[in-house]
Structure 1
Amino acid sequence: MDRFVGQARLEWWANHETCLEEYGIDLTVAVDAGGTWRATGRHANALDTTQREGWDFLMEMDPYFSVVFPGKDSPGIFVRVVGAEDGTLTLTEVPDREVR
């Protein structure tokens, strides 16, 4: 994949068997000639108060998610998520599922 623009899903996994939460995101991913993976996005839908509290809790506890693309049966790409004040999310691939 050199570029992807569309919807994907962020999943927060407590362990290999338990996904605690999923968030739909609008995402733009680009891979440069050197193979560097860069992505930015936003929540696809505004989070209500309960969802926002859950999101903030997970981000504070451990901002690592799997990003899953539509139609893919793979477990996704392990990423670190950083949120900005304006709601923009920056996703950085974590090679080889580095220990958190």
Structure 2
Amino acid sequence: MDRFVGRARLEWWANHSTYLEMYDIDITVTVDAAGSWRATGRHATDLDATEREGWDFLMGMDPHFSLAFADEDRGGIMVRVDEAQNGTLTLTEAPDWDGSVNVTFDLT
């Protein structure tokens, strides 16, 4: 089994040219003999109140992020992120995600 432990970032893209936010994470990725991978992580630093509010907002809109590693200018692996109560992030590859999300804002 192969393993990577290090730093990566999650990027939340509004469209193909504009990202709204990025979050550094400490990540552990394991790959089994069949080539399937699993990834878990945590935010590299504790989120302050404003960052937490932004994170929760984006996660509520759509929990899909682009995953990028240190030597990449832009993330290339789309992942779905789930956050446990203890702050652990589980990343699942989402190759079929088409980038669309339906969001309704009530501005009244």
TM-score (norm 2): 0.85
Matched with 2:62 is 62
- The amino acid of 2:87's aligned partner reads G
- The amino acid of 1:67's aligned partner reads L
Matched with 2:7 is 7
Q: How many residues align?
A: 98
Bigger-Rg structure (1/2):
2
SS at match of 2:42: strand
CA contact (8 A) 2:81 2:92 kept: yes
Large movers: runs of 4+ above 4 Å: none
- The amino acid of 2:35's aligned partner reads G
CA distance in structure 2 between the partners assigned to 1:52 and 1:45 by the alignment = 11
CA distance in structure 2 between the partners assigned to 1:43 and 1:75 by the alignment = 17
| Cα displacement string for residues 59-94 of structure 1 (whole angstroms, at most 9, x for unaligned residues) | 010000011001134532110000000000000011
Aligned alpha-carbon RMSD (Å): 1.3
- Structure 2: unaligned runs, 5 residues or longer: 101-108
2:82 equivalent to 1:82: yes
Matched with 1:29 is 29
CA contact (8 A) 1:69 1:76 kept: no
CA distance 1:60–1:15, change in 2 (3 Å)? same
Q: CA deviation at 1:8?
A: 0.5
Q: What is the aligned-residue identity percentage?
A: 67
CA distance in structure 2 between the partners assigned to 1:98 and 1:65 by the alignment = 10
SS at match of 1:60: helix
CA distance in structure 2 between the partners assigned to 1:17 and 1:7 by the alignment = 24
- The amino acid of 2:10's aligned partner reads L
- Structure 1: unaligned runs, 5 residues or longer: none
